[in-house]
Amino acid sequence: AQSVTQLGSHVSVSEGALVLLRCNYSSSVPPYLFWYVQYPNQGLQLLLKYTTGATLVKGINGFEAEFKKSETSFHLTKPSAHMSDAAEYFCAVSDWISGNKLVFGAGTILRVKS
Amino acid sequence: NAGVTQTPKFQVLKTGQSMTLQCAQDMNHEYMSWYRQDPGMGLRLIHYSVGAGITDQGEVPNGYNVSRSTTEDFPLRLLSAAPSQTSVYFCASSYGSAGGIEDEKLFFGSGTQLSVL
């Protein structure tokens, strides 16, 4: 069975600092990996995803993530945090076998301090 | 373009009551799904559908029923509400799957906050 572990339920950074949100996955076949963001009182929006090909994936709002098979990781980064990045971030996994079932991590709340 | 519309936004039920959470999309998406979101647990898949007349169970289907009579609508029914079903419910849709195909992603509704007393 697939699973996702997000390290750190809360992360706090200063405005302008590096954002690093950690995600490790478990999958018996090559995974599809996703990062979604949820702003307060809203549904989720896709930031970026990896299916095949280039392991460094660029998404919206300056975020990127790198698929590292050897480390079973898909960490999300942004070079410089902005106040508007404050939200909850979810890592998720599926694969070509269970492509209709997306498994989410528990989420990481990002706080950006001025 | 309305996207994915969920109604109601808030609902309070008593234990044992039944109700239906509505979800409609106007994007001609084949894939629709229901998730529940609980603190510290992320989102968990309840049921999903890959087209009209086709539904399947997700990770936490017990206590919930679904049907898909049209492409646009995917209602979630609680047959006999229990306090353990207090949660925020999200409906999501996409063209064909949960996002494994290039250029495909899930579109989420704004959620229904349900409290069962």
Contact at CB, A32 and B100, closer than 8 angstroms: yes
Residue pair A78/A10 in contact (Cβ under 8 Å)? The answer is no
Q: What is the CA radius of gyration of chain A?
A: 13
pLDDT over threshold 90, residue A99: no
Chain mean pLDDT for chain A: 93
Which residues of B are less than 8 Å from A37 in CB distance?
none
The CB density around residue A16, as the number of other CB atoms within 10 Å, is 11
Write the residue in A9, A42, A49 that is nearest to B40 by C-beta: A9
Residue pair A108/A8 in contact (Cβ under 8 Å)? The answer is yes
What confidence score (pLDDT) does residue A90 get?
96
Which residues of B are less than 8 Å from A44 in CB distance?
43, 90, 92, 106, 108
Residue pair A23/A72 in contact (Cβ under 8 Å)? The answer is no
Q: Which two tokens stand for residue B84?
A: 């353990």
Residue pair A43/B111 in contact (Cβ under 8 Å)? The answer is yes
What confidence score (pLDDT) does residue B1 get?
64
Write the residue in A9, A101, A106 that is nearest to B58 by C-beta: A101
DSSP class of residue B101?
S
For B17-40, write each residue's pLDDT tens digit. 999 999 999 999 999 999 999 988
pLDDT over threshold 80, residue B98: no
Taking one residue from A and the other from B, the number of pairs with CB-CB distance under 8 angstroms is 71
Contact at CB, A42 and B31, closer than 8 angstroms: no
Q: What are phi and psi of A70, to 5 degrees?
A: -65, -25
Three-state SS string over B9-48 comes to: CEEEECCCCCEEEEEEECCCCCEEEEEEEECCCEEEEEEE
In DSSP notation, A6-52 reads: EE-SEEEEETTSPEEEEEEEE-SSPEEEEEEEE-TTS-EEEEEEE-S
For A38-61, write each residue's pLDDT tens digit. 998 888 999 999 988 889 999 999
What confidence score (pLDDT) does residue B83 get?
97
What confidence score (pLDDT) does residue B105 get?
86
What confidence score (pLDDT) does residue B54 get?
95
For B48-92, write each residue's pLDDT tens digit. 999 999 999 999 999 999 999 999 999 999 999 999 999 999 999
Q: Which two tokens stand for residue B63?
A: 């206590």
Q: How far apart are CA B34 and CA B82, in angstroms?
A: 18
Which residues of B are less than 8 Å from A9 in CB distance?
40
Contact at CB, A100 and B110, closer than 8 angstroms: no
Which residues of A are less than 8 Å from B90 in CB distance?
43-44
Picking from A19, A33, A14, A31, the residue whose alpha carbon sits closest to that of residue A77 is: A19
